[in-house]
Amino acid sequence: MSQSTIEIKRTQHSRLNEIDFDNLTFGEQFSDHMLEVRFSDGRWHEPQILPYGQIPMYPAVSTLHYGQAVFEGMKAFRYESDKVNIFRIEKHYDRFRRSCERVCIPEVPEEVFKEGMVELVRTDREWVPRNKYKSLYIRPIVFATDQTLGLRASRNYRFYIICSPVGNYYSEGIKPIRLTTMPKYVRAVLGGVGDVKVPGNYAASLQPTTKAQHMGYTQVLWLDAVEHRFVEEVGSMNIFFVIGDTLVTPPLNGSILPGITRNSILELAKAEGLKYEERPVSIEQLVSLHNKAQVKEIFGAGTAAVISPVGLIHHEEYEITIAADEMGPVARWFYDKITGIQHGEVAAPDSWCTVI
Least confident of 180-184, 303-307, 322-326: 322-326
Q: What is the pLDDT of residue 153?
A: 98
Q: Taking 70 as the threshold, does the pLDDT of residue 3 lie above it?
A: no
Q: Taking 90 as the threshold, does the pLDDT of residue 2 lie above it?
A: no
All structural domains of the chain: 3-167 (3.30.470.10), 177-342 (3.20.10.10)
Q: What is the pLDDT of residue 92?
A: 98
Q: What is the pLDDT of residue 173?
A: 58
For the full predicted model, state whether its pTM sits above 0.75.
yes
Q: What is the mean pLDDT of the chain?
A: 95
Burial class (CB in 10 A: 0-12, 13-18, 19+), 252: middle
**pLDDT tens profile 255-299:** 999 999 999 999 999 999 999 999 999 999 999 999 999 999 999
The conformation of residue 159, written as its DSSP 8-state character, comes to E
| Cβ-based neighbours of 71, under 8 Å, separated by 6 or more | 139, 140, 141, 142, 197, 198, 199
In which band, very low, low, confident or very high, does the pLDDT at 132 lie, cut at 50, 70 and 90? confident
Q: Taking 60 as the threshold, does the pLDDT of residue 207 lie above it?
A: yes
Evaluate whether 124 touches 31 at the Cβ level (below 8 Å).
yes
**pLDDT tens profile 93-106:** 999 999 999 999 99
